[in-house]
Structures are given as C-alpha cells and as structure tokens.
C-alpha cells in the first residue's frame, strides 16, 4: 500500500513538472517579446488599469505590436472570488489540517482547473502568513503556526495550480500577520527569525517555481513592503533567486521611484487613491504608468529596471504556457453580469473528501464515535452553527457576517458558495429525518436542554469567526471565546444529555471551559470545511471516513498561555523570535489543552524500529560540509486497532544545544493509510536547509555542531521514538 502511494506521488510530480517551462526556457522566449517593446509598452504591462476597470479584481493594460494581453488577477486561495458556478472548498487552514500532501495537491489541481476555466491568469493564493497569534484575523487563509507545514502546503498548492497554466501568487510578503493597523504599522524582526520562520514558506514557494509574489500592506523596519529594497531585491530576488514578478497588494504601492528601484514589478490595482466604495472606480492616476515612464526619462529609474519588470511578467506567462490557447477571461467585475461558465465539474467530491480529511477528532470517550445510524433511535442537533444561513447563502458581502453554519471566514479570501450542505442536512441524510430533533436557537437554553435530554446522542454546534480587516471592520479576533452564546449552549446540552458530542467550526483555537464535562463524550473540529460541510461531517460521524486530521496550531488551556497577542501599537515587535506556537509551549513547559499535530483516530497505531542514516558530504581539506547533508529516518508503523485508517506520522527535529533553537521543530510528515493489522515503513528525508539554522554573522544556512535528535510520533506531544545523530 505504502509503496503504491509513494510511486503515485513520484509519477504525479513528474507529470506536473513536464507541463511547466523552466525559468531559463521562459526567459529565452520572454527576451524576444520584451525586446520588441517600447518603454511605454513595458510600463503598460506592469500597470493595473485601476479598481473596477476591467473584469477582474486586478487587470493590467494590454498592448499590441507586439501583442501582450491584459492579465486578469483574481482572488483567492480557496476558490474563485466574485464568481458564479465555481467550487467553494475548504479553507487553507483545513488543507494544512489534513497533513495530506496528495489531497493538498488534488485540491490545488481542481483550483487550477477552475481559475483556468474562467480565463484567470493569476490566482491570488496561496496565503502563507503565519498564525503568529491565535487571534490573527486572516490566519485561516494560511496554514497555521508552523513554517515547515506552511511551506509544504504552499509548494503543493503552487505546483497543482501552475500545472494548469495558471500563475500562482504567494502572499503576503512579508510579516503581515495581523489585521489591526495593517496599512500603517511596521513589523520589526531579527534576521534569524525572519529566515527560520516567516521567510521559510516563501522560500519553499520559490523552490516550487511560483510565478508571482504579493508584497504586503505593512512596513518592515519602517520601509513599505512594496518598496523594500532589502526584502525584495536582496532577499527575495537575490538570496532566494525568485525569477517571477512581485505585485503589490491592492493599494500597497506608495511611490514610483522607491517602489520601482525597491523591486516592485507590478502595481495593483493601479490607481493611487482608494475608492470610496467597493463598486466605485478609484483615481485614474497611478504610481506606475506615466509616472514610471517619466521617472525613466528623468533617469530616476533605469530603463533596464523596466525591462526586468516586463521580463519577469512575460517569463511567468510563458512559463505557464499562457501564450498557447489560454481561455478568454470569463468574469465580470459586477458579478451579476458574469458570463455563464460552469467550472465545477465533480470537484464537490474532492471538497467532501478534504472536509473529512481535515476534521480533527479531539475527544472520543469509550468509542462514542463512530455511530452506526441503524443502531440509533434519536439524535438531537442543536445550535445555529448546525443550520443554513437564515437569509440564504452569499447574502453578506464577502461573508462579512456569521449566520448559520461557518464554512469559511470573511474577506477577500472567500468564494461564493454554489450551495452549502449544512451539518443538519448532512446528518439528516445519514440518520433520516424522523430520528432527528433540532433547534437552531443558541439563546434558549431551556429549549436546547429539552431537545437534548431524551436523545441517544446530542450534537451541539458552535463557531468562532474572523477575517480581513476591511471597510472599517475589525478583522482580528477580539477574544478566543466561541460566538453566539456557545459556551452556555454547550454546557446546557451537556447537562441534559450524557452522550453529548460537540462540533466546532472555527478559524483557529478557542477556549473550552466545558472540555472536561463528563457528559461530553466527543469533540469534533471540522474547522472551515466549505460547501460540503455537512457531508464531510456525516462521513466522519458514521465512520465512513476514519478521522486523521491534525491541529495545525496549539489549543491552549488559557488565553494567557499564548505568548503573542495582536499588537496594538504601530510597531509590531516579533519579540517572541523563534518561539511561536508549540515552540513557545515546549520552551516554557506549558501544557496545552490540545497540542500542535494532535488528532485522534477510530483506530490506534504502534511505532517501532526507528533508524537514522546520515550521509554527509564533507570536504576534509576545507574542513566544511560542501553539499546537502541528507538525513534519512525510517520507522515502522502498525495499525493495531479494529478499523482501517490513516495515521499522520510526524518527524520533529531537536537541534544541538549550540544552536539555541526551540526544543523541537516539525521537519517531516507523511499520511499513511493502513488496514487493520497492516504495517509499513515510513521514511523522512531531511535536506541541508532543514538541518540548518540561519547564521546571522555569515548570512548563510549552517548546520550547527553537536548532537541532533529526531523524534517520530503522532503529535508534537506524542513522540513515540527518538534517536540521536551527529555528522
Ligand atoms: C487585499 C488582500 O490583502 C489580498 O489578499 C487580496 O488578494 C487583494 N486585496 C485583492 O483582493
């Protein structure tokens, strides 16, 4: 089973890579086209036409003789924003919670098809900003608190999308980890933390061949991200060797000369002044466009810089084969006028699978779950989060309201639902209407208890939402509590029914004052599962799918246990340095409620026979390591329970003391499906970067001297075996 799985990954990777040109090939083609462009033309293709001026969220100026089309840039990471007849799947945080590389690739694969089907040249995703604080408003668009996990999710997403000829856009570069003051604040960080934590997923994205990077709203060390010479030119294009183009977040361009010389290649949406309302065009001027041409004429920006900008854009376009049969853009800025193009195919199947694969089972006393429908007489379903939005789907702009079940956060990272299978509907389909009694009222606790009390099982639902801080709406979370009376509702149901099952749809961790209530027998954590929410949930509840989702963040017992909060100042200090998320909890010896990487299964797994091999390329004369040092760890995993199921085997690395690193860091994970009684060997390869720390004095990755330990287990706090090694 395992080798089949492994072979299919290799095969898939090979097919995908064959589709995309190398940067060298793309640059050769681009040189011919850009060589025919005048200065005005080169500038035109770097400039957005202005807000609401074109079919897409961002549109560049087209040119003729030579011909280069208007590029369509459109949100977002989980589906096509502002469009009809598209799939609205699981959020990025759920992709991460699946810890399933193949599923993440399959998700990206359908996203690529849908963006291409609508004629979108650039997908504005993936989002890789860290869940630095559990309150970070947009963290649900990304992958949680670990850079290694975020790096894998980003790389798989980019390869899948770009294999369909759509340019992926990794965002937001960089240190844009909270919504409060995002347009004005300055993030302050040391070089080691920058490299080992926040730059990491961008570096993996560049390795995956990403075509574009979005620079963010905030400043870094007082310099706007989109004119930050050090971060764009020195780090991104120099150190990481990024060959594609840098596009500004919308209105994150603040100058002409500094931005152009600082490394910005495309200004979006192009105009200088923000529109006064979302459907009204902004100003007609631009920091690029004529201002950029003038700056070249005045020699404040070299013409070769504009050639480089154009080369980067055109090379990305060639790299993804957009010169060959790329479909016409089929969107309209006013969604009501969009042409009818249905790109959904059967992607609902993948969304359903991904929703189940990312559902984290947090508690399951006495095998309460799964439930066999035929053996049950009555089920209670309680809470507004179980039901449909009362006014129908897509009734709030960009999901800026929490009505009914929560299946995505709010803001530009949303996509309209074609339909939404709510949990009540999903459970009705498997248990039958007649067995289910429900109330969607969160406030009438008496009624909730009445409905719960005689049921065989009482499901109680609640949620917590957040999103983009836009249009005057506060985006970050104000606290870590459940919304809509959730804690009281859960307690009322648990007091009334000794088989209570709690289901939480949330953008991130919540406090669970009720977790040890003896009547709460199971807790399920479906996160933000998208349009197939109810089906995915039913698949887990009935055991059609054995849960294997894992937490991509730490759930603490108390809010005070977290060391990072939203910074209220204009200076956002990254003073936690490397100790973000579980790295802090490990370092401080704080026991979390549920640790990073945690999640239960209906079966259980044994680990055995851990081995580690090191292969070091060491130059004796130079007395230094001259090539990637590869470490290979292998371990045998056995399904010793009574259900077939998948285990997420995780590898955590502890650096030598001399490194001054956090106690342990994720450096590998594999999802492995095992039938009951079956076992298989799982392998982890670590490259030099993964074994290195950022050496501030030399500005390079260095393998620290001393003994390493690799620990393999089922979560960051469930290491089953560990072994030391040195080079
Ligand atoms: C602002 C958001 O920060 C970014 O993620 C998005 O892609 C753009 N707006 C375009 O909508």
73 close to ligand 1 (CB < 6 Angstrom): no
Determine what percent of the chain is predicted with pLDDT higher than 90.
91
250 close to ligand 1 (CB < 6 Angstrom): yes
State the distance from the centre of ligand 1 to the C-alpha of 468, rounded, in angstroms: 9
Q: State both tokens at 34.
A: 């850009």
Question: Mean pLDDT of all residues in the chain?
Answer: 95
What pLDDT digit, counting tens, does each position of 267-308 carry? 999 999 988 888 888 888 999 999 999 999 999 999 999 999
The helix-helix angle for 147-162 and 101-117 (nearest 10°) equals 40
For the CA of 182, the closest atom of ligand 1 is 3
75 close to ligand 1 (CB < 6 Angstrom): yes
Residue tagged active-site, from 75, 109, 177, 249: 249
Q: State both tokens at 663.
A: 């106690």
Predicted model pTM: 0.96
> Do the bridges between strand 186-188 and strand 219-220 make them parallel or antiparallel, or are there none, so unpaired?
parallel
State the distance from the centre of ligand 1 to the C-alpha of 275, rounded, in angstroms: 14
Separation CA 72–CA 122 (nearest Å) = 6
Q: Is the dihedral of CA 83, 416, 541, 95 positive or negative?
A: positive
Mean pLDDT of 482-487: 98
Q: What DSSP state is assigned to residue 60?
A: B
249 close to ligand 1 (CB < 6 Angstrom): yes
State the distance from the centre of ligand 1 to the C-alpha of 251, rounded, in angstroms: 9
pLDDT at 231 over 50: yes
pLDDT band, residue 63 (cuts 50/70/90): very high
Separation CA 481–CA 503 (nearest Å) = 14
For the CA of 172, the closest atom of ligand 1 is 5
For the CA of 268, the closest atom of ligand 1 is 10
pLDDT band, residue 309 (cuts 50/70/90): very high
State the distance from the centre of ligand 1 to the C-alpha of 80, rounded, in angstroms: 13
Separation CA 162–CA 317 (nearest Å) = 11
Separation CA 424–CA 459 (nearest Å) = 10
249 is catalytic: yes
Q: State both tokens at 501.
A: 């099952």
Mean pLDDT of 176-193: 97
Rg (alpha carbons) of the chain, rounded to whole number: 25
Return the ∠ at Cα 403 (arms to 492 and 510), rounded to 5°. Answer: 55
User: In the β-sheet with 58-59, what is the strand arrangement from edge to edge?
Assistant: 58-59, 72-74, 122-123, 167-173, 212-215, 245-248
DSSP per-residue codes, 650-717: EEEEE--GGG---S-EEEEEEEEEE-TT-EEEEEEEE-TGGG-EEETTTTEEEPPSS-EEEEEESSTT
State the distance from the centre of ligand 1 to the C-alpha of 211, rounded, in angstroms: 17
pLDDT at 620 over 80: no
pLDDT at 12 over 70: no
179 close to ligand 1 (CB < 6 Angstrom): no
Which residue's alpha carbon is at the smallest distance from atom 10 of ligand 1?
250
Determine what percent of the chain is predicted with pLDDT higher than 70.
95
pLDDT band, residue 627 (cuts 50/70/90): low
pLDDT band, residue 16 (cuts 50/70/90): very low
- Probe residue for ligand 1, chosen from 142, 177, 214 as the CB with the greatest number of ligand atoms within 8 Å: 214
For the CA of 58, the closest atom of ligand 1 is 10
Residue 433 pLDDT: 96
Q: State both tokens at 173.
A: 């570069």
Mean pLDDT of 217-227: 98
Mean pLDDT of 695-707: 95
What pLDDT digit, counting tens, does each position of 116-155 carry? 999 999 999 999 999 999 999 999 999 999 999 999 999 9
Which residue's alpha carbon is at the smallest distance from atom 5 of ligand 1?
412
CB 540 within 8 A of CB 547: yes
pLDDT at 193 over 50: yes
What pLDDT digit, counting tens, does each position of 243-263 carry? 999 999 999 999 999 999 999
Q: Is the dihedral of CA 88, 94, 96, 98 positive or negative?
A: negative
Chain centroid to CA 458: 32
What pLDDT digit, counting tens, does each position of 412-423 carry? 999 999 999 999
State the distance from the centre of ligand 1 to the C-alpha of 75, rounded, in angstroms: 7
Residue 8 pLDDT: 39
Torsion of CA 99, 101, 107, 110, to 10 degrees: 180
pLDDT band, residue 580 (cuts 50/70/90): very high
171 close to ligand 1 (CB < 6 Angstrom): yes
Torsion of CA 337, 340, 345, 349, to 10 degrees: 40
For residue 48, what are the β-bridge partners? 60
pLDDT band, residue 619 (cuts 50/70/90): low
Closest CA to 307 of 22, 35, 24: 35
Residue 616 pLDDT: 57
Phi–psi pair at 683, nearest 5 degrees: -120, 145
Mean pLDDT of 76-97: 98
pLDDT at 626 over 70: no
């Amino acid at each position: 089973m395992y080798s089949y799985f492994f072979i299919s990954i290799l095969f898939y990777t090979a097919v995908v890579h064959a589709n995309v040109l190398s940067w060298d090939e793309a640059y050769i083609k681009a040189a011919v086209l850009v060589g025919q462009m005048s200065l005005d033309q080169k500038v035109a293709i770097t400039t957005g036409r202005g807000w609401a001026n074109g079919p897409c969220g961002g549109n560049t100026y087209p040119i003729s003789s030579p011909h280069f089309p208007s590029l369509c840039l459109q949100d977002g990471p989980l589906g096509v924003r502002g469009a009809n007849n598209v799939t609205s799947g699981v959020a990025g945080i759920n992709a991460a919670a699946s810890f399933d590389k193949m599923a993440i690739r399959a998700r990206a694969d359908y996203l690529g098809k849908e963006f291409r089907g609508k004629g979108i040249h650039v997908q504005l995703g993936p989002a890789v900003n860290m869940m630095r604080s559990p309150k970070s408003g947009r963290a649900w668009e990304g992958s949680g608190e670990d850079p290694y996990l975020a790096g894998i999710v980003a790389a798989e997403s980019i390869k899948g999308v770009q294999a369909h000829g759509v340019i992926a856009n990794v965002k937001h570069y960089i240190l844009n980890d909270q919504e409060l003051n995002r347009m004005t604040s300055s993030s302050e960080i040391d070089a080691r933390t920058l490299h080992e934590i926040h730059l990491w997923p961008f570096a993996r994205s560049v390795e995956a061949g990403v075509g574009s990077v979005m620079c963010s709203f905030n400043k870094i060390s007082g310099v706007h991200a989109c004119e930050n010479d050090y971060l764009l030119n020195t780090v991104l294009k120099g150190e990481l060797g990024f060959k594609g183009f840098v596009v500004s977040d919308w209105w994150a361009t603040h100058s002409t000369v500094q931005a152009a010389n600082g490394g910005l290649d495309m200004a979006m949406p192009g105009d200088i002044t923000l529109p006064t309302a979302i459907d009204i065009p902004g100003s007609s001027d631009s920091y690029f466009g004529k201002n950029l041409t003038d700056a070249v004429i005045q020699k404040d920006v070299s013409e070769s810089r504009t050639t480089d900008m154009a080369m980067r854009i055109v090379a990305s376009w060639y790299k993804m084969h957009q010169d060959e049969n790329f479909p016409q853009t089929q969107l309209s800025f006013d969604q009501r006028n969009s042409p009818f193009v249905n790109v959904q195919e059967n992607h609902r199947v993948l969304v359903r699978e991904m929703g189940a694969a990312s559902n984290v089972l947090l508690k399951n006393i006495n095998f309460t779950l799964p439930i066999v429908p035929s053996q049950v007489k009555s089920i209670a379903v309680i809470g507004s989060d179980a039901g449909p939005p009362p006014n129908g789907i897509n009734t709030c702009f960009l999901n800026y309201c929490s009505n009914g079940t929560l299946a995505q956060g709010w803001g530009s990272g949303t996509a309209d639902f074609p339909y939404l299978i709510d949990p009540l509907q999903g459970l009705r389909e498997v248990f039958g209407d007649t067995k289910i009694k429900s109330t969607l009222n969160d406030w009438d606790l008496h009624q909730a208890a009445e409905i719960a009390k005689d049921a065989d099982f009482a499901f109680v639902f609640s949620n917590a939402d957040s999103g983009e801080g836009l249009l005057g709406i506060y985006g970050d979370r104000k606290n870590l509590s459940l919304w809509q009376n959730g804690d009281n509702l859960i307690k009322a149901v648990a007091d009334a029914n000794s088989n209570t099952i709690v289901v939480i749809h949330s953008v991130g961790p919540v406090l669970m004052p009720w977790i040890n209530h003896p009547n709460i027998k199971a807790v399920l954590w479906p996160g933000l599962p998208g349009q197939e929410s109810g089906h995915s949930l039913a698949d887990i509840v009935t055991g059609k799918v054995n849960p294997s989702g894992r937490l991509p963040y730490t759930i603490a017992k108390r809010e005070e246990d977290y060391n990072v909060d939203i910074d209220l100042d204009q200076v956002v200090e990254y003073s936690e340095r490397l100790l973000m998320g579980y790295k802090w909890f490990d370092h401080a010896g704080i026991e979390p409620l549920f640790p990073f990487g945690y999640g239960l299964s209906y079966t259980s797994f044994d680990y055995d026979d851990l081995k580690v091999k090191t292969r070091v390329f060491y130059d004796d004369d130079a007395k230094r390591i001259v090539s990637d040092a590869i470490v290979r760890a292998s371990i045998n995993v056995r399904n010793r329970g009574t259900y077939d199921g998948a285990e997420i085997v995780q590898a955590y690395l502890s650096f030598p003391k001399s490194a001054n690193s956090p106690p342990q860091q994720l450096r590998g994970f594999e999802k492995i499906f095992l039938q009951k009684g079956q076992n298989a060997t799982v392998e982890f390869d670590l490259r030099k970067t993964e074994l290195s720390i950022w050496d501030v004095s030399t500005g390079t990755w260095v393998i620290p001297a001393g003994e390493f330990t690799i620990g393999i287990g089922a979560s960051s706090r469930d290491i089953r075996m560990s072994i030391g090694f040195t080079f």
